[in-house]
Amino acid sequence: MDFSDSPDVAEFRAGLRAWLGEHLATYADGVGYDSAEGVAATHRWHRALAAAGYVTVSLDPEYGGRGLSDLYEAVVNEELAAAGAPPPPPIGHIAHAVADFASADLKARVLPGLLGCTESWCQGFSEPGAGSDLAALSTTATATDDGFVVNGQKIWTSWAMWADRCLLLCRTEPDQARHRGLSMLVVDMDTPGITRREITLANGSREFAEVFFDDVPVPAANLVGERGQGWRIAQHMLTYERGPADMGWTGRLGNVLAAAQEGVRSGRLPADDVLRRRLAAVAVDAQVLSWHVARSLVDRSSADPGSSGSIDKLLTTRVEQELYAVVGDLNGAAQVVGEQRPFNEYLWARAQSIYGGTQQIQRQIVAQRLLGLPRG
């Protein structure tokens, strides 16, 4: 049992810290998705990080990665959070899908732009009629002589407004039931027939969009893997989606907690004994979460039920929602009158039990797959 860094990890971490110390100030300002300037700043930040060799470090060197373990991805996320830097580009799962399933030609065409962050990607999975029930999706890619023609609609597509390419999960085999009929395509977002509509969230965020496909041609060479393999690739991606990023997210929650603690210590956030103890209780939860995420990351390849992403997500959501509830109460009237960032963060915490699979679905996965309870 050892929760501390190995020498290699410590060296990697120190290198990253040094790089951040030198370069963060140049890039961190103005990063966001609320304006064209913010998006441009985000892309600059991603490209700088990629150029420094800190993007998708777990990918094979032949594809532009560094062939390091997931742990290093986690260190990147963790250190960026600790430094108060914007997150790394969330492209690890897309990169792994392409690297592990795409043809050599497709890889050569798209991986450099993806990994160098010179091209921006989105992931077209959810649909209005297929959220929790993803296998019910109905966007079709009908085979033609030289490829496919896509028709349908995606929703909750993060960064779609600014994306150059989309990894699209769609139905190519209409005669196959549910998940057996799905395939994965790379779609250039400037192809005629694609329309994007921004979604404004309750917290003012403009990260999501709807994407409409109207007779959109996609060349056969843009098929990732084989026809009918879409579901498998999507599942494969899920295993890369969380773990390391959880480390960053946990770190960011830790920053929020630390700021609240500092506010109480300094008297800026007046807190009676009850509020102090509520803050201490959520600090306990946040600390256990960070230990759990670390363990989960290292144990990922084992058969240990602790490796389950659904458990991690449920625990994270529990902690995050409680944290923002306490921080909200610490803010008191300032939560409802005045600058709205705290309230928007509280709202965003509420969304965590919905996005990426609702709490109810996550619990069902845990109950059936990990506890072995029978299906209803």
Partner 1 sequence: MQIGLDPEQRALGKASGALAADLASGWDRGRGPSDVASAAPSDADWARIVEAGWPALRLREENGGLGAAAVDVAVLVEQLGRHSVAAPVIGTLVAAEQLQALGAPAETLEAIAAGELRVAPLLDAGLLGFAPSAEGALAWDSAGATLAYAPDGSAHALGEPLPTADVTRSVRRPGARVTDRDTALRPPAGDDRDRLHAFVLTLLVADLLGTMSAALDAAVEHATTRTQFGRPIGSFQAVQQIAAEDLVSVEATRSALYFSAWAVDALPPAEALRAARTAKAFASRSGVAVCQDAVQLFGGIGMTWESPAHVWLRRAQTDRTSFGDEHAHQAVLADLDLAPGA
Report helix, strand or coil for 52.
coil
Q: Which is nearer to its own copies, 270 or 338 (CB)?
A: 270
In the complex, least distance from residue 322 CB atom to its own copies, rounded to whole angstroms: 16
Which of its own copies, partner 1, none is residue 238 near (CB under 5 to 8 Å by kind)? none
241 is annotated as an active-site residue: yes
Backbone angles phi, psi at 35, to 5 degrees: -155, 165
Q: Are 89 and 123 in contact (CB under 8 A)?
A: no
Beta bridge mates, 218: 148
Distance, CA of 302 to CA of 307 (rounded, Å): 7
Tokens of 7: 């020498």
Distance, CA of 39 to CA of 46 (rounded, Å): 11
Q: Is 160 in the site for partner 1 (CB under 8 A)?
A: no
Q: Is 363 in the site for partner 1 (CB under 8 A)?
A: yes
Q: Dihedral (C-alpha) 362, 363, 368, 372: value to the nearest 10 degrees?
A: 130
Longest dimension (CA), the chain: 71
Q: Which is nearer to its own copies, 235 or 368 (CB)?
A: 368
Q: Which is nearer to its own copies, 273 or 339 (CB)?
A: 273
Of 116-124, 139-147, 160-168, 367-375, the segment contacting partner 1 by CB under 8 A is: 367-375
Per-residue mark of binding to partner 1, 317-356 (x: CB under 8 A): -x---------xx--xx-xxxxxx--x---x--xx-xxx-
Q: Which is nearer to partner 1, 36 or 104 (CB)?
A: 36
Residues near its own copies, by CB under 8 A: 272-274, 277, 376
Q: Are 215 and 281 in contact (CB under 8 A)?
A: no
Backbone angles phi, psi at 55, to 5 degrees: -110, 135
In the complex, least distance from residue 275 CB atom to partner 1, rounded to whole angstroms: 7
Burial bucket for residue 237 (CB in 10 Å: 0-12, 13-18, 19+): buried
In the complex, least distance from residue 273 CB atom to its own copies, rounded to whole angstroms: 4
Per-residue mark of binding to partner 1, 131-150 (x: CB under 8 A): xxx--x--------------
Amino acid, single-letter form, for residue 86: P
Residues 6+ apart with CB under 8 A from 376: none
Q: Is 267 in the site for partner 1 (CB under 8 A)?
A: yes
Q: Are 138 and 150 in contact (CB under 8 A)?
A: no
Q: For residues 162-221, which are near partner 1 according to CB under 8 A?
A: 199-204, 206
Which of partner 1, its own copies, none is residue 3 near (CB under 5 to 8 Å by kind)? partner 1
Beta bridge mates, 169: 184
Which of partner 1, its own copies, none is residue 175 near (CB under 5 to 8 Å by kind)? none
The end-to-end CA distance of the chain, in Å, is 39
Per-residue mark of binding to partner 1, 10-49 (x: CB under 8 A): ----------------------------------------
Query: Of 167, 283, 323, 327, which lies in the binding site for partner 1, with binding defined by CB under 8 A?
Result: 283
Set 73, 78, 241, 320: catalytic member: 241
Q: For residues 67-126, which are near partner 1 according to CB under 8 A?
A: 71, 126
Q: Which is nearer to its own copies, 104 or 274 (CB)?
A: 274
Q: Which is nearer to partner 1, 165 or 292 (CB)?
A: 292
Distance, CA of 86 to CA of 44 (rounded, Å): 12
Distance, CA of 46 to CA of 115 (rounded, Å): 9
Tokens of 176: 């196959």
